[in-house]
């Protein structure tokens, strides 16, 4: 057996030992196999990375925008070249099926590509002045050092989502990947060296949120914080950042409603409902967390849904035929199982699954059966709280108004789904469904040129597209007189 690799921190374009000798053990959630040992940064290490990024900022920010974009284009070509290797790293550390990991790699490419292509579209304004001959210039300028804090469910794409626009806009960047899934980001750091990135513009500090994340957030060097993760973690980051009056972008939890009306294409809706719930073992912030089906088609929908869920193959994520892999950790698995048991106590019926998978290779990993619950109502905990696991809750609604009311009865407001052929319902939905992004007659999966953002407990700010890119610049107003 090959000895697991030991990874250092990535600071100033080179691998750097942490001040301490501690390491996180990274395990494959499907097999329990040790994949690597990864350095745990201390506060001094984080400060060193931030100072390095600060030192690199003046030269990087003064580069012509298209020159900065060219570095990103070179990185994209290397990601394409190593796409299969990167997909296998994602699958090994995260547990998602290989076919989904390949999609993630492509999405990472698209996110970086959009930032590179659109950096020249960070345009300011010229406004007539209030004095004779005066012009008022409003210029877009980079913030400085941007700190990224990432989640474990899309380890490569989330780094790309933040790194691409941060660097394209002229900032320098320090990221903390999640301690469960740092290997994809470390692999990207290796490719940044091959792409010839100037030293110090992209840095990776590994370790836990309590030390590494807090040091990134509270340092006076950091000017913008972009974080993807849980709502409780986001609240802590916002509170810590407030002391330094820092700009914060938070992409947090979700509780997406999936609405199926009586005129929907049932087969398309069933396929999308399953895809939007069980992709990445349900560990997606835009996942279908609450499925609302019109009573007129409920029985037909349930029959077809049951068959579709029952056919899902759960197992080795490196197997091309696998539809669903393991949960990321035993702790996450236990959390989901407790939520299902609580739902049953409150009156839900388990149609399928509802248990940990055991026996054979299942015992080595964190596998939970694809689960379908019926007899669910809005008073249950499982309808109010984010599951983040492979549990589909089916809820009967009497009409469109009932569906909208129940869908909006949530403290989250990230994503929603609507299946209907009625243009009037679609037009009403655009005004009445209170979510930042809505998928109409399709499965989930945001586009790099869109804008991924939510309301309420789903966070503040947003990512992707031109609106997301604009978050990585500040403005400077110049009153110009001859």
394-413 pLDDT per residue, tens: 999 999 999 999 999 999 99
Q: Name the strand (E) or helix (H) holding 382.
A: helix 381-384
Q: Is the per-residue pLDDT at 54 higher than 80? A: yes
Ramachandran area for residue 280 (φ above 0: left; ψ -120 to 50: alpha; else beta): left
Q: Name the strand (E) or helix (H) holding 165.
A: helix 155-168
Positive or negative CA dihedral for 61, 65, 71, 76?
positive
Q: Strand pairing of 145-149 and 222-228?
A: parallel
pTM of the model: 0.97
CA pair distance 279, 309, nearest whole angstrom: 12
Taking Cα atoms as reference points, which of 418, 411, 416 lies closest to residue 459? Answer: 411
- Which one of the listed residues 104, 285, 332, 386 is annotated catalytic? 285
Q: What is the pLDDT of residue 231?
A: 95
Q: Report residue 282 CA to chain centroid gap.
A: 13
Q: What is the pLDDT of residue 375?
A: 98
213-262 pLDDT per residue, tens: 999 999 999 999 999 999 999 999 999 999 999 999 999 999 999 999 99
Structure-block tokens of residue 232: 């409780």
239: Cβ contacts below 8 Å, ≥ 6 apart: none
Across residues 275-296, what is the average pLDDT?
98
Annotate 248-287 with b (16+ C-beta within 10 A) or e (fewer): bbbbbbbbbbbbbbbebebeebbebbbbbbbbbbbbbbbb
Structure-block tokens of residue 205: 């500090």
Q: Name the strand (E) or helix (H) holding 203.
A: strand 202-204
- Nearest 5°: phi and psi at 185? -65, -40
Structure-block tokens of residue 145: 């050092």
51: Cβ contacts below 8 Å, ≥ 6 apart: 221
171-216 pLDDT per residue, tens: 999 999 999 999 999 999 999 999 999 999 999 999 998 899 999 9
User: What end-to-end distance do the CA atoms of the chain give, in Å?
Assistant: 73
Q: Is the per-residue pLDDT at 2 higher than 90? A: no
289-329 pLDDT per residue, tens: 999 999 999 999 999 999 999 999 999 999 999 999 999 99
Residue 251: strand, helix, or coil: strand
pLDDT band at 145 (very low <50, low <70, confident <90, very high): very high
- Which one of the listed residues 93, 100, 251, 386 is annotated catalytic? 251
180, with CB counted inside 10 A (0-12, 13-18, 19+), is: buried
**Gyration radius of the chain over CA positions:** 23
299, with CB counted inside 10 A (0-12, 13-18, 19+), is: exposed
Q: What is the pLDDT of residue 209?
A: 87
For this structure, is 117 an active site residue?
no
Average model confidence (pLDDT) across the chain? 97
399, 422 contact by CB (below 8 A): no
Q: What are the C-alpha distances in Å from 226 to residues 87, 170, 314, 361? A: 24, 16, 34, 38
Q: Is the per-residue pLDDT at 434 higher than 80? A: yes
Q: What is the pLDDT of residue 1?
A: 54
CA pair distance 107, 112, nearest whole angstrom: 9
Across residues 423-451, what is the average pLDDT?
97
For this structure, is 251 an active site residue?
yes
68-78 pLDDT per residue, tens: 999 999 999 99
292, 397 contact by CB (below 8 A): yes
């Amino acid at each position: 057996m090959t000895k697991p690799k030991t990874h250092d921190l990535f600071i100033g374009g080179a691998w750097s030992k942490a001040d301490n000798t501690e390491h996180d053990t990274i395990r494959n959630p499907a097999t329990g196999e040790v994949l690597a040992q990864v350095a745990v940064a201390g506060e001094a290490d984080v400060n060193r990375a931030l100072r390095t990024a600060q030192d690199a900022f003046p030269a990087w920010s003064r580069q012509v925008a298209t020159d900065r974009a060219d570095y990103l284009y070179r990185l994209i070509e290397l990601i394409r070249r190593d796409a299969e290797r990167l997909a296998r790293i994602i699958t090994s550390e995260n547990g998602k099926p290989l076919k989904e990991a390949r999609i993630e790699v492509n999405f990472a490419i698209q996110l970086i590509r959009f930032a590179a292509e659109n950096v020249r579209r960070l345009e300011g304004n010229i406004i007539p002045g209030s004095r004779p001959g005066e012009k008022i210039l409003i210029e877009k300028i980079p913030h400085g050092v941007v700190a990224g804090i990432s989640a474990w469910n899309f380890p490569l794409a989330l780094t790309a989502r933040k790194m691409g626009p941060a660097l394209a806009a002229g900032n320098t960047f320090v990221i903390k990947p999640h301690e469960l899934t740092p290997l994809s980001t470390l692999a990207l750091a290796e490719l940044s060296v091959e792409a010839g990135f100037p030293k110090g513009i992209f840095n990776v500090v590994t370790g836990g949120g309590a030390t590494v994340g807090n040091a990134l957030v509270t340092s006076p060097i950091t000017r913008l914080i972009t974080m993807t993760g849980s709502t409780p973690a986001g609240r802590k980051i916002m509170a810590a950042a407030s002391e330094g009056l820092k700009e914060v972008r938070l992409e947090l939890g979700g509780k997406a409603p999936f609405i199926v009306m009586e005129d929907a294409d049932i087969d398309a809706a069933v396929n999308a409902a399953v895809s939007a719930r069980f992709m990445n073992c349900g560990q997606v912030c835009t996942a279908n967390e609450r499925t609302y089906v019109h009573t007129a088609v409920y029985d037909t929908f349930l029959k077809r849904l049951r068959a579709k869920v029952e056919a899902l193959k759960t197992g080795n994520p490196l197997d091309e035929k696998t539809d669903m892999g393991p949960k990321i950790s035993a702790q996450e698995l236990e959390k989901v199982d407790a939520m299902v048991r609580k739902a049953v106590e409150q009156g839900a019926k388990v149609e399928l699954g509802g248990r940990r998978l055991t026996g054979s290779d299942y015992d080595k990993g964190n596998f939970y059966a694809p689960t379908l619950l019926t007899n669910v109502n809005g008073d249950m905990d499982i309808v109010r709280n984010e599951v983040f696991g492979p549990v589909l809750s089916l809820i009967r609604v009497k009409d469109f108004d009932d569906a909208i009311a129940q869908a909006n009865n949530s403290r989250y407001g990230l994503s929603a789904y609507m299946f209907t052929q009625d243009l009037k319902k679609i037009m009403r939905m655009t005004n009445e469904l209170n979510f930042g992004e809505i998928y109409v007659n399709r499965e989930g999966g945001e586009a790099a040129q869109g804008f991924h953002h939510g309301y309420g407990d789903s966070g503040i700010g947003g990512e992707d597209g031109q609106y997301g890119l604009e978050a990585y610049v500040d403005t400077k107003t110049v009153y110009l007189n001859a």
